[in-house]
Chain A
């Protein structure tokens, strides 16, 4: 007898997997356009739920019309020439730059966690402080950061780092402590020094898990990035969303939100792919 649909032993076939995994997307999109259509039938000027045509126009304008502050103000009709001058590209570039700097600043956080986990004195020195720091709500530090670092890039990047780094440090610390002591002793008996053990034995073993931990924190990175951009910025994806909110520009806000989700999805997929390629021995 085959297992029922709700049975623990059920094995969805390929077609069922494909249909079920996309079903909620299809339902969500259908529901949105049904409600949007109904609202527009009652009020053709409705701006809360733009139609697909309105969103396509909004996105076309954001992606192909030159940004207001761009020196080039004429369209050529060629996508590859127009896109680099568009609002969408400039916002994406600005947010990506902040995102990239923040990610690079997480490297020292990983190294600190590694050293804390491996070298007892480093652990003793930092652990209590990091545990305390981890409990501070990063957004509550935003005014202090703006006062201390001004409203330029540094304060926004610091907000991301302060928000995410303690979690990454503690995750790396715990992963380091999780390496079997037998392996560390073994490495020493094979002639390794302290830093050989740290970088050639422990870091290499925990790196795939550290990357997974950073992947899980990508949303937090974006959250702090958006908070910083929404409050004090003159460009960036979140700045644009905040700006358009004032004009009820839902025809651009919705595509922007989907664009951000897509970018994050691509980054996450890229990191997962790199993790698999760089660490073929690692099985999640």
Chain B
């Protein structure tokens, strides 16, 4: 081969390589920020299916601890850094960020079937009737209990029992000498930890976070009554060190067979009924959350959702990904690959109507009932100006909720009285609301 031919071949190869490289580079890369929850990890594993269907889009994952994720995505979105193209956010952030134009609306056109999304979840993720975050999985709260222990104690648990009856059941099954505690509840301080539960309990006692003029109501008789009941219940029938327990700690206790009852997120149902994780998988019963004076706001509503920050440069690819990950087809894909008990729940009506899901998930009916009964727009007995069941969807709530959580946790640990805790929390909340200019 002469020099000319060699050069021609070299040029051709280089040109072809360059074209291929250009083609490879033409694929849009999107970065998805998410939390380390089972359903999210499954989505990560199924990414090749998405990339096969959309070869022009490559997905990179950033998995973070919940607190770090909140901090990072807030930093990213508020500073318009564009580090992430899709971010996992909750029902608290969606309306607040949408109001500030930090999010792009979700494209619900065509075959996405937005009407199939559960109405309460859709409402909680919308701002001015526009969906700003697509739900990936949703949850409410409910009672999970040991059927065997409750039966042996000669008691019964039904949907929407009164708190007084639940306390009686806790007393009946409480047997610390055999390592069984009547009631496991969140005690660890945090607006998303103990205050998520405490808010729903307070709602059912007739309490509210703020009155119509945004004045904090933490010193009201209803709050005092609810927190006293909670502290008394856990001190008498709870596990030791309850003030440092949250979802994972209680899940571990329940799975070990150490809790008679546990009131927490409906997502826990799939864990406590899984024999690979739980020693009591075949003995778990479910019931709707208890109430005291009203059923309003007695169980929370939350949805881990996918949203697109306004500063992203890959909005179209991000929309395509979100439409895929939150579609009916994705749920079908997970069901067929991993079994129907493992599909992300709490988002679409079609999931609960699916006979395969109904057969696989013993908790399906209770979960749907809980989600449908939660109404973020009307969650308190007395009128309140905010949206949200276990939170008030205002930017100031994170700080107020966490401070109140610290006080309630302190009261549970015995470092202060309930009255002192609520007084301090109210003073702090009042200061924050004044500084924020609410009154």
A, B assembled together? no
A residues contacting B by CB (< 8 A) are none
B residues contacting A by CB (< 8 A) are none
